[in-house]
A and B are shown apart, each in its own frame.
Chain A
Amino acid sequence: MEVELKEVLNDLESLKQSLADTSHSAPIDKLKLRVERLANLGNYGPVRRSKVKDMSAEVVDSNPYSRLMALQRMGIVENYESIREFSVAIVGIGGVGSVAAEMLTRCGIGRLLLYDYDKVELANMNRLFFRPEQVGMTKTDAAVQTLSDINPDVVLESYTLNITTVQGFDTFMSSLKNKSFRPNKEGSGVDLVLSCVDNYEARMAVNQACNELNQTWMESGVSEDAVSGHIQLLIPGETACFACAPPLIVASGVDERTLKREGVCAASLPTTMGVVAGLLVQNTLKYLLKFGQVSPYLGYNSLKDFFPTMEMKPNPQCSNVACLERQKEYLLVKPARDAAAKAKKEAEASAATESPLHIDNEWNISVVDDCELDKVDVQSSDALPEGLTRELPSADEYRTPLAETPISPADDLDDLRKQLEALNSA
């Protein structure tokens, strides 16, 4: 187009020269000005920045990372550039997931894995990120389109699938295990999984995968009435898993039904979703870049601007087999962990070179760290902090029902199938 416009300009110029009558030169000049303006407009069109090899802290307008690298100069983050080594999987690219993906992309995260099976709809436009012209695209494709424009340095992988189905789950698991991005990384191929889904089934599927892979993950949610939300850190074996106890919800003070999926009837606000995405990614950055305190659970009640926090220990009777295995492993390494913590404490103490407050301690009085005691036992729901309630009841104690026909292993599956078919066709 640029070349074309230039030619038009040249033509106009020669036309002006060729005309003997100067009375036409004014309108021709006007035309030339308009063409020039059009040519300039083209300069503001989409420009893709090239990839950046190393993150620089140099403060110039053209450096996309100068403000992020300043976190090091301010003493907040020790090594910001390490963010380029991290892989984060985001499950659910909706109101929270898409915004979280954009935040991590702008932060220069190394690699993002995006999972969703839905398409962009006009009904999504009350939330951030997706644009009306993307309606009809899969959310994963639309996200890759926008994110790769914002920051071409980020490696993006998109998976259009439903993780709750057997097939989708298999692909989900193998994509998390894939270590081609950083072959020498320990554990799975990702550093963190973020669950930004809108239903219990998908959360349980993420929980299952992360328990099996011993993968740390964070869960997030926004209530159906759009006025409250939460984020939660889950470390298999160390903290309660999603199946350890019925899910927690932030009591909004109005209606306490939450953790529901997006239906035609669910309300949503760009504000609440943006706040929850912000809390989630802030916790993610703290976890990955090792600064501040990583929150184990943080609720958000927007009606009262109340932020309940808590910690949950795993349930030794959890119904999830993989969770119990992780709990066992965690207990096995407890002595080593205690020794490391003790050594760290001693190192800190010797650095301070403090003399004991009391030389003799006849009654063996010791000061106990009370943060351990604050942890909520997931089995007793009465112990929940103010502002939190349970969404679903726990499974009843298992009793063998009286009126039960015992199933002998001799029963043949094909036989049973035929019996049902016979009934169906009758």
Chain B
Amino acid sequence: MEGWDPSTKSTLTQIPLLTTKAGPRDGAAWTQRLKEEYKALIAYTQMNKSNDNDWFRISAANPEGTRWTGNCWYVHNLLKYEFDLQFDIPVTYPSTAPELELPQLDGKTQKMYRGGKICLTVHFKPLWAKNCPRFGIAHALCLGLAPWLAAEIPILVDSGMIKHKDDAASSAES
């Protein structure tokens, strides 16, 4: 965990850790894991709200809890940039992390694989591997997606690859 900023570290320590090592094919154990995932997500969302640092919405898109959809946003120069967020829980979960996708940014940055999957290889995958099975979706968002947005969005905005929705609307009108 060297190299991480103190606020991320302190946030991380407050997200409840998970204990059940189970994937979507493990029946009752997966239901148990899903409960833990929800607890961690609820705690993390509450914490973000109370710290005035709310930055994502995510909910299961199917009853099995294997597909998740929602959105996330990042504030840069006082403007809020919002993106759809989606991912599948892989069959080998939690040995392998979910691959977080921002489909609207597909093809706009090199730090992304086909289909809008954000690149987590260097900053996140080793941490996930080390902490299996204690890390869950909430940890992936906190340690995978949040730093990615913080690193990429300012560059994408400054280089003109993405525009704020108000700018995009006004330029479309003109």
Contacts and interface: CB of A to CB of B under 8 A. Distances in A.
Interface string A248-278: 0000000001001111110000000000000
A260 B57 contact: no
Nearest to A406: B19
Interface string A403-426: 111010101010011011101101
Interface string A21-51: 0000000000000000000000000000000
B83 interface: no
Interface stretch (A164-172, A299-307, A325-333): A164-172
B91 A396 contact: no
Interface stretch (B108-116, B142-150, B152-160, B161-169): B108-116
Given A319-B95, A396-B131, A405 B125 contact: no
B92 A393 contact: no
Interface stretch (A141-149, A199-207, A281-289): A199-207
B25 A166 contact: yes
A275 B66 CA distance: 38
Contacts of A208: 91-92
A421 B125 contact: no
Contacts of A265: 110-111
A211 to B, nearest CB: 11
A392 B34 contact: no
A201 B16 contact: no
Q: Which of A265, A409, A423 has the most CB of B within 10 A?
A: A423
Given A166-B64, A264-B110, A423-B49, A416 B39 contact: yes
A409 B32 contact: yes
Given A263-B110, A426-B49, A417 B121 contact: no
B130 A395 contact: yes
B60 interface: yes
A93 to B, nearest CB: 14
B96 A411 contact: no
A16 B138 CA distance: 86
B8 interface: no
Given A164-B92, A166-B91, A257-B121, A420 B59 contact: yes
Contacts of A416: 35, 38-39, 42
B129 interface: yes
B82 interface: no
Contacts of A164: 88, 90-92, 96, 99
A367 to B, nearest CB: 42
B49 A166 contact: no
Interface residues of B, number: 50
Nearest to B64: A166
B59 A169 contact: no
Given A262-B113, A401-B17, A423-B45, A204 B92 contact: yes
Contacts of A246: 129
Contacts, number: 120
B41 interface: yes
B49 A392 contact: no
Nearest to B36: A407
A118 interface: yes
B91 A165 contact: yes
Interface in A161-213: 163-166, 169, 200-201, 204-205, 207-208
B91 A404 contact: no
A18 interface: no
A165 B173 CA distance: 42
Contacts of A424: 45, 57-59, 70
A201 B90 contact: yes
Contacts of B129: 246, 392-395
B78 interface: no
Interface in A316-362: 319-320
Given A164-B90, A208-B91, A423 B42 contact: yes
B16 A404 contact: yes
Contacts of B130: 393-396
Contacts of A260: 121
B132 interface: yes
Nearest to B130: A393
Contacts of B89: 166
Interface string B85-104: 00011111001100100000
Given A164-B92, A263-B112, A319-B21, A419 B121 contact: no
A409 B129 CA distance: 27
A318 to B, nearest CB: 11
A417 B132 CA distance: 23
B120 to A, nearest CB: 11
28 contacts: A164-B88, A164-B90, A164-B91, A164-B96, A165-B88, A166-B25, A166-B89, A166-B91, A169-B25, A200-B96, A201-B92, A204-B96, A263-B110, A264-B113, A319-B21, A392-B125, A393-B129, A394-B130, A395-B129, A395-B132, A400-B19, A404-B16, A413-B31, A413-B34, A413-B35, A421-B59, A423-B42, A424-B58
The 10 closest A-B pairs by CB, nearest first: A416-B38, A204-B92, A392-B129, A169-B91, A164-B90, A201-B96, A423-B45, A395-B132, A424-B57, A263-B113
